[in-house]
Amino acid sequence: MISWISVCVCVCVLSVLLCVSLVAAFVDELDDSFMETRGADDIWLIKFYAPWCTFCKQLDPVWHQIGSELKSLGSPVNVGKSDATANTGLAKEFKVRGYPSILMLKKGVKYNYSGPRTKDGIMDFAHRVGGPLVRTLTSLQLFQHAMNSRDVMFVYVGATSQLKGNYTSAAEQLIVHTYFFSAARDILPKAVSLPSLPAVVVFKDGTFFTYNEEHDGDLKSWINRERFPNYFKIDSYTLYAMGESGKLVVLALVEERNLCEESLRYKSLVEKVAADHREIYSRSFYFGFMEGGDYISGLVMAEVIVPSFVVVNLSNDGYFLPTGAVETEHHLMDFLNGVLDGSIQCQGGNGVVQRARRFVYETKVTLMSVFSQAPLLGCFLVGFPLAMATVFCYLCRKARSTISDDDDDDVAPSAPPLQSYKKLTDKKSE
């Protein structure tokens, strides 16, 4: 009986080890020789990590799943990882600043990934950047499928032109954020009316908008501004990315679950203003809601009341708060108009003083969290530096006292004793 149990245990252990080895085989460990040995047309998805990094360790099983799945789908994307602390040359080549750092290398061009560290987010990034810059839609069915599978979609319509060249150039830089498509005019639904061809069209929020150079300015800047829905649920990663667009973000801060009646009213109020007054505010604002107030609390350096309204400027870490109660649509519009005309003052910012204050605030919040969850660890984190500082001050004080005593000993013998001085005086007087 015991022998059969032993055999079963051994078989299970071997099966697990075999599965682990097979999964690990889809992720290559890269070193400093990678840039010389890689193929010129190879596409690589790379994770830079540090052995001591907790987030890197949490991402590791997800990373191996990604490698296995991409290989099984026949993707041209190779998956690798590199210890940035050991392979410093490779980390310097890719300008790694933090861990884990995820990027893609495609035909010599490096694309950084800044989205959530989830399998779905990274897989979407790999499919998007690893595929063609501009994907051709050849049928109405493909167009409808693309429309149904994403919130925002950019489409170039027409023959080869200078506009298409600008569109492709913008895609080279913004492919990390969104998909780019092209289609013939007869592929689009008949309800899509275009004033002229060629044209660049964005489909979102159940409608479409055509790029106008005179009205919208630079094509790349327009795409960067329009790559988000006008109103949607916003998380910390998305909010950070919105800072690159130059727009302000109007947020209704609500509970993470079990929304109260007031939170539902705040959400619907922001959504209504976003939809009904798009022509007035879409060039200056994004609209959305965020669950929980922790991220915004770190920005304003105070506990944020939920539910509430706030307008955030991610380009300089500034924020605007209503000066009074926001009960109606007109109240919210007055608040937004005050932000635009400057009558409501921007608070916060990323100046030296604000950065120092934010560092102190974040340190305080972190320590409070540690004390609440692990009091002993909190006492150690606070007490150990204080104890070291106390010991250091004591040793410095003691060293100074010792030096002072030594100086006194050196000076005393050089001065003549008082009695000798008197005898010498008496001899002179005789």
pLDDT digits (tens, 9 = 90+) for 220-235: 999 998 999 999 999 8
CA dist., res. 250 & res. 239, Å (int): 11
Structure-model confidence comparison of residues 367 and 141, the more confident one: 141
On whether residue 412 sits in a domain, the answer given is: no
Q: Is the CB of residue 182 less than 8 Å from the CB of residue 157? A: yes
Q: 234 and 189, same structural domain? A: no
Of the given ranges (141-155, 242-256, 364-378), which has the lowest mean pLDDT? 364-378
In 3D, which of 73, 67, 70 has the Cα closest to residue 27? Answer: 67
Structure-model confidence comparison of residues 116 and 199, the more confident one: 199
Catalytic hit among 56, 379, 393, 396: 56
Q: Is the CB of residue 252 less than 8 Å from the CB of residue 309? A: yes
Q: 100 and 72, same structural domain? A: yes
Residue 139 confidence (pLDDT) above 50: yes
On whether residue 380 sits in a domain, the answer given is: no
Q: How confident is the model at residue 315 (pLDDT cuts 50, 70, 90)?
A: confident
Q: What is the mean pLDDT of the chain?
A: 83
Q: 312 and 331, same structural domain? A: yes
On whether residue 215 sits in a domain, the answer given is: yes
User: So what's the pLDDT on residue 90?
Assistant: 92
On whether residue 67 sits in a domain, the answer given is: yes
- Structure token digits, residue 77: 């994307």
- What is the model's pTM? 0.73
For range 387-397, the mean pLDDT: 73
User: So what's the pLDDT on residue 383?
Assistant: 65
Task: Express each pLDDT in 19-78 by its tens digit.
Answer: 434 444 689 999 999 988 888 889 999 999 999 988 899 999 999 999 999 999 888 999
Q: How confident is the model at residue 371 (pLDDT cuts 50, 70, 90)?
A: low
Q: 244 and 207, same structural domain? A: no
DSSP-derived 3-state class of residue 49:
strand
53 among known catalytic residues: yes
Q: 233 and 223, same structural domain? A: no
Number of domain units in the chain:
3
Percent of the chain with pLDDT over 90: 53
Q: How confident is the model at residue 10 (pLDDT cuts 50, 70, 90)?
A: very low
For residue 198, the domain's CATH number is: 3.40.30.10
Of the given ranges (32-46, 265-279, 373-387), which has the lowest mean pLDDT? 373-387
For range 389-398, the mean pLDDT: 73
User: So what's the pLDDT on residue 423?
Assistant: 45
CA dist., res. 64 & res. 80, Å (int): 9
Catalytic hit among 10, 19, 53, 260: 53
Q: Is the CB of residue 263 less than 8 Å from the CB of residue 303? A: no
CA dist., res. 252 & res. 233, Å (int): 10
Q: 208 and 301, same structural domain? A: no
Q: Pick the last residue of a domain from 315, 350, 385.
A: 350
For range 166-175, the mean pLDDT: 94
Q: 61 and 30, same structural domain? A: yes
Question: What is the span of the domain harbouring residue 28?
Answer: 22-117
Report which DSSP code applies to 267.
H
Q: 319 and 276, same structural domain? A: yes
Q: In the chain, how many H helices and how many E strands?
A: 17, 16
Q: How confident is the model at residue 240 (pLDDT cuts 50, 70, 90)?
A: confident
Residue 101 confidence (pLDDT) above 50: yes
Structure-model confidence comparison of residues 120 and 25, the more confident one: 120
Of the given ranges (129-138, 167-176, 301-310), which has the lowest mean pLDDT? 301-310
Sign of CA dihedral 128, 129, 131, 135: positive
Q: 223 and 235, same structural domain? A: no
Q: Pick the last residue of a domain from 330, 350, 370.
A: 350
Q: 240 and 211, same structural domain? A: no
CA dist., res. 79 & res. 105, Å (int): 10
CA dist., res. 29 & res. 20, Å (int): 15
19 among known catalytic residues: no
Query: Going by DSSP bridges, is the β-strand pair 318-320/347-348 parallel, antiparallel, or unpaired?
Result: antiparallel
